[in-house]
Structure 1
Amino acid sequence: MNIFRLAGDMTHLFSVLVLLLKIYATKSCSGISLKTQELYALVFIMRYLDLFIDFISVYNTVMKLVFIGSSLAIVWCMRRHRMVMRTYDKDLDTFRHFFLVLAALVLALLVHEKFTILEILWAFSIYLEAVAILPQLVLLQRSGNVDNLAGQYVFFLGAYRAFYILNWIYRYYMEPHFTRWIACVSGLVQTALYADFFYYYFISWKNNAKLKLPA
């Protein structure tokens, strides 16, 4: 564990807490893409199947359970909670996310580090996570105005990926046998997807104005 990975984990956790706060405190999921949340739930389930066969540390196990549990709870609220589901922007959340799942699966079957079920599912989760934010970004772009909590949620998700890039750079120089190049390349792609959002986020922060994304 290094400081960059810890910072990444904490910003990731904070993004989830911000989203849960928005949903449970305001009873609203306006501005949040259900399709992105479904993709994240699939990402965490597929990536953390090793919970049943490989114990690394208490911290590692707890974080895995938190991300699986929270992602499933968010999807359940957006689909089943009577008050929350009424606020879902269904007409704006029309990104065909099944194509992302199919593309990630095909890529995982073709490009992986080891031809085993767990390694292919791990690669699938990495590829899918790299593009899982796309439905959310498209929804925010279509809605124009972004509420404060939704904007903070996306910002902390982007910060999490940025910290993980620093983590991989650190590990590349400090761990001679570090070879997770699939995660590195996918992480760079994912972080690049946030570039436009970050630009407008900092502009709104600098001007103390409401976040607006161009349509």
Structure 2
Amino acid sequence: MKGKATKNPIFAFTTWIRRQPPKMKAFLVTISGMAALLFLRMVVEDHNNLFVAAETVHALGTFVLIYKLTKEKACAGLSLKSQELTAIFLAVRLYCSFVMEYDIHTLLDTATLGTTLWIIYMIRFKLRSTYTHDKDNLGIQYVVIPCAVLSLFIHPTTSHLLFNRICWAFCVYLEAISVLPQLRLMQNIQIIEPFTAHYVFALGVARFFSCAHWIIQVFDTRGRLLTALGYGLWPCFVLLSEIVQTSILADFCYYYVKNILGGQLVVRLPSGVV
């Protein structure tokens, strides 16, 4: 059995990756990301669809959680705090959409917020006995307060009201790190059951599509998109937030794909991941 396992190309590739030094791993990740961006730029005709795809995948991820909660009648492995942070940034983003623009993004965010609030209700009241409260130990205040303070100083310089511009910046920053409590919880329990893993992987895919949308748009407009967003540090922080979101979830997505391709139904995280 051991001899056959080593002949498995997936096993051999992942083993080779693990043996590489950190600098080589970072180089391979960078090359893979650039190749994926180039592929999307060539295949997707309207690059605005990438942002719609990101929101759609996020919405699908929440439906996966709803299926989990209704089928298994348990919420072990799910972070209530991440769901609450998600509800906060979606609510703020919806407010910004209504007062600043109204399009397909508003409809997708409305659907995602509705399902997220339902998930919060189920965890808090219906399935509270199965909630791993002691493992979900990253305080919300450590996420919300830095985002709020940063948004006061670095926000869009457009013609909209100052309060609306600050809200816009706040939801961008909060979205970037709202998954941290979920990742902290998964690191604490080490073994992630399938539905939770599918949900977090969906978040990773959504974040990559969103990040790809911004990066490709910058190249397509030869940098004019950055000035359209405003001046000062804000355009750079928008891109940085997208990159941070993708980077935070990249490590988990690697282990997710590795376990799924290896035929494992659960995702096992080694110590130190996420």
Give the alignment's TM-score, normalised by structure 2.
0.72
Query: Which of 112, 116, 125 is matched with 1:80 structurally?
Result: 125
1:178 and 2:225 aligned: yes
Structure 2 match to 1:94: 137
Letter in 1 for 2:139: R
Query: Which of 208, 214, 227 is matched with 1:162 structurally?
Result: 208
1:140 and 2:186 aligned: yes
Letter in 2 for 1:104: C
CA distance in 2, matches of 1:80, 1:177: 48
CA distance in 1, matches of 2:101, 2:175: 23
1:64 and 2:119 aligned: no
Q: What's the offset of the Cα at 1:162?
A: 0.2
Point out which structure has higher relative CO (alpha carbons under 8 A, 6+ apart): 1
The range that moved more, 125-134 or 149-158, is 125-134
The answer as to whether partners of 2:56 and 2:108 remain within 8 angstroms in 1 is no
How many corresponding residue pairs? 212
CA distance in 2, matches of 1:94, 1:12: 24
Distance verdict in 2 for CA 1:98–1:165, change over 3 Å: same
Alignment of 1:8-27 (within 5 A): 8-27=54-73
- 1:43-97 per-residue CA deviation (whole Å, 9 max, x = no partner) reads 111111135434533x33321211221221111111122xx12111101001112
Runs of 5+ unmatched residues, structure 1: none
CA distance in 2, matches of 1:134, 1:158: 12
Distance verdict in 2 for CA 1:193–1:60, change over 3 Å: closer
Structure 1 match to 2:252: 197
Letter in 1 for 2:114: G
CA distance in 1, matches of 2:106, 2:209: 20
CA distance in 2, matches of 1:213, 1:88: 20
Structure 2 match to 1:33: 79
Q: What's the offset of the Cα at 1:195?
A: 2.1
What SS is found at the alignment partner of 2:78?
Answer: coil
Letter in 2 for 1:4: L
Structure of greater Rg:
2
